[in-house]
Chains A and B, each alone.
Chain A
Amino acid sequence: EAQVTQNPRYLITVTGKKLTVTCSQNMNHEYMSWYRQDPGLGLRQIYYSMNVEVTDKGDVPEGYKVSRKEKRNFPLILESPSPNQTSLYFCASSPIPGQGGHEQFFGPGTRLTVL
Chain B
Amino acid sequence: SYELIQPPSVSVSPGQTARITCSADVLPKQYAYWYQQKPGQAPVLVIYKDSERPSGIPERFSGSSSGTTVTLTISGVQAEDEADYYCQSADTSRTWVFGGGTKLTVL
Do A and B bind?
Answer: no
Q: Which residues on B are within 8 Å of A, measured CB to CB?
A: none
Q: Which residues on A are within 8 Å of B, measured CB to CB?
A: none
